[in-house]
């Protein structure tokens, strides 16, 4: 980052710092650098900077990176109404009345890092503030009420400098005839002339019903969006609670890499290195690096904020194994044994991998919490199978089980059997399962403890 910019922010002359962020597109072997050591980097006599990443050493020459260019220029590419192109949208185009979905596509010009451009937009006439769109290059507006609107979009370079010039388009959503002022006046005059109370009641009923349908469709879209937001926040909150365990889990392969590297270096300096042993050491380093990379990849997938995943083929055995890997240190810290019983010849499930892992993390953590009160440390059994129609994932803990009075309300929001629990985990988990046409069931196991069963449809291709 620029020293002058840092001083300007400290003095109150600027609002933000725009650091230089490098990743694989700039030639980095990996975006993440190793931490936990001081100093975190070195500066050579030539002025270059050396950093250690999970995939090797990288050298950065600050002189080769100039200040970011001005924010990219913007262009409205196309306007679609119900997935069909709108002709002549350059002026103030008109949207016919009725429930419709308007999509506005836009882009910005940058030949260095086009995928790193960020966008934001706003729709005057419906909402006033800017909405962050990330690198998404389109905005959709379903069921807009009648009125005049102005759509504006702005773009920013990877360093966060937003363009002052914005690109936009104006349009008008036409009302139904019964939504116009002249129609309302005509109805009133007709009612006054004929005394048709029944006609007035019927007209009001029809208008109310149509308004309710529009409101219901809008509410469904908003509810789905809120569910995605809450599900993402739940994943982030859960990983936050596991941060110390995950840090310990990462420290093990990194410490092993360091130890193997030191042993290999001493062997090479001995003058008579044992080359087969050196090869074995390098294999161990590669395996430990893959393990650390797998943990980081799983964490990034859980942190990533995305729209609802489209159903795809998911290997449930692989998803369960990765999830238990993320929870390994937490399970060891609780001194609880986890028994995994993967089924054979299980077809892929029709779901989302991150969503399945979110449900499993919630169920396993609930089982660990339930077993705190158990007189003896039992075990959690996780099993997968195929019942001929659906893929099953079962989680059976050794806790006291589900209280009878909570069984009917277990999946309701804000209902929890844990002290201080929010009561959202199981409600969100069932909603995720139902979104993929699956089920999440709960019962008390005959041998004691709670048994949760996640049923998912088979991916048909």
Structure tokens of 148? 């005049």
Do 58 and 79 have their domain in common? no
- Residue after which a domain boundary falls, among 175, 210, 235: 175
> Which of 6-20, 117-131, 274-288, 323-337 bottoms out in mean pLDDT, i.e. has the lowest?
6-20
Q: How does DSSP assign 178-213, residue by residue?
A: GGSHHHHHHHHHHHHHH--HHHHHHHHHHHHHHHHH
Output the pLDDT for position 451.
95
Note whether residue 216 is domain-resident: no
**b/e sequence 142-173, b meaning 16+ C-beta within 10 Å:** ebbeeeebebbbbbbbbbebebeebbbbbbeb
Output the pLDDT for position 188.
74
More confident residue, 148 or 30: 148
Output the pLDDT for position 119.
92
Do 447 and 423 have their domain in common? yes
Could you report the per-residue pLDDT of 219-248, keeping only the tens digit for each?
Answer: 666 655 655 555 555 555 555 555 554 555
* CA distances, 119 to each of 69, 161, 266, 401 (Å): 16, 11, 52, 49
- Residue after which a domain boundary falls, among 155, 175, 195: 175
Do 121 and 31 have their domain in common? no
Do 48 and 95 have their domain in common? no
Do 78 and 43 have their domain in common? no
Structure tokens of 166? 């914005």
Could you report the per-residue pLDDT of 333-346, keeping only the tens digit for each?
Answer: 788 889 999 999 99
Locus of tokens 């451009």: 117
Note whether residue 162 is domain-resident: yes
Do 55 and 152 have their domain in common? no
Do 83 and 137 have their domain in common? yes
Do 321 and 444 have their domain in common? yes
- Residue after which a domain boundary falls, among 175, 195, 225: 175
Which residues form the domain of 37?
21-64
Do 86 and 126 have their domain in common? yes
Confidence band for 392, pLDDT divided at 50, 70 and 90: very high
Note whether residue 30 is domain-resident: yes
Output the pLDDT for position 301.
53
Note whether residue 45 is domain-resident: yes
Do 49 and 99 have their domain in common? no
Output the pLDDT for position 415.
75
Report the distance separating Cα 270 and Cα 98, nearest Å: 82
Confidence band for 255, pLDDT divided at 50, 70 and 90: low
Average pLDDT over residues 253-264: 75
Output the pLDDT for position 40.
73
More confident residue, 421 or 393: 393
Strands 349-351 and 312-314: antiparallel
- For helices 353-370 and 425-435, the axis angle rounded to 10 degrees is 150
Total of domains in the chain: 3
Do 92 and 151 have their domain in common? yes
CATH number at residue 137: 2.60.40.10
């Amino acid at each position: 980052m620029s020293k002058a910019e840092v001083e300007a922010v400290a003095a109150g002359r600027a609002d933000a710092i725009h650091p230089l962020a490098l990743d694989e597109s700039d030639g980095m072997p990996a975006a993440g650098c190793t931490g936990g050591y001081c100093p975190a980097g070195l500066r050579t006599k030539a002025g270059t900077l050396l950093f250690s990443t999970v995939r090797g050493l990288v050298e950065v020459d600050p002189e080769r990176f100039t200040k970011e260019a001005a924010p990219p220029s913007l262009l409205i590419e196309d306007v679609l109404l119900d997935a069909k192109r709108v002709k002549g949208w350059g002026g103030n185009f008109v949207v016919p009345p009725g429930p419709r979905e308007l999509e506005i596509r836009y882009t910005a010009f940058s030949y260095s890092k086009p995928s790193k451009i960020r966008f934001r937009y706003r729709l005057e006439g419906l909402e006033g503030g800017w909405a962050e769109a990330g690198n998404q290059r389109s905005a959709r507006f379903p069921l807009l009420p009648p009125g005049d609107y102005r759509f504006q979009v702005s773009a920013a370079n990877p360093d966060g400098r937003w363009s002052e010039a914005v690109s936009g388009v104006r349009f008008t959503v036409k009302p139904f005839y019964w939504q116009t002022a002249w129609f309302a006046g005509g109805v009133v005059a007709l009612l006054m002339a004929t005394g048709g109370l029944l006609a007035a009641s019927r007209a009001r009923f029809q208008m109310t019903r149509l308004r309710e349908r529009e409101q219901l469709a809008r509410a469904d879209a908003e509810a789905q969006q809120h569910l995605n937001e809450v599900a993402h926040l739940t994943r982030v909150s859960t990983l936050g609670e596991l941060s110390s365990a995950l840090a310990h889990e990462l420290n093990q392969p990194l410490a092993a890499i360091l130890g193997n590297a030191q042993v290999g270096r001493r062997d090479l300096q001995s003058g008579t290195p044992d080359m087969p042993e050196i090869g074995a050491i390098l294999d161990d380093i590669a395996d430990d690096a893959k393990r650390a990379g797998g943990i980081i990849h799983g964490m990034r997938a859980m942190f990533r904020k995305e729209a609802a995943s489209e159903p795809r083929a998911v290997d449930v055995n692989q998803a369960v194994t990765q999830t238990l890997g993320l929870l390994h240190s937490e399970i060891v810290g609780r001194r609880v044994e986890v028994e995994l019983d993967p089924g054979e010849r299980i077809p892929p499930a029709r779901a989302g991998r991150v969503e399945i892992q979110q449900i499993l993390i919630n169920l396993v953590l609930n089982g660990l919490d339930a077993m705190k009160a158990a007189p003896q440390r039992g075990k959690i059994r996780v099993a997968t199978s195929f019942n001929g129609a659906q893929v099953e994932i079962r989680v059976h803990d050794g806790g006291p089980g589900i209280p009878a009075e909570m069984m009917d309300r277990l999946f309701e929001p804000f209902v929890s059997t844990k002290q201080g629990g929010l009561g959202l985990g199981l409600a969100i988990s069932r909603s995720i399962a139902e979104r993929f046409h699956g089920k999440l069931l709960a019962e008390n196991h005959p041998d004691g403890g709670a048994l949760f069963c996640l049923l998912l449809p088979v991916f048909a291709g």
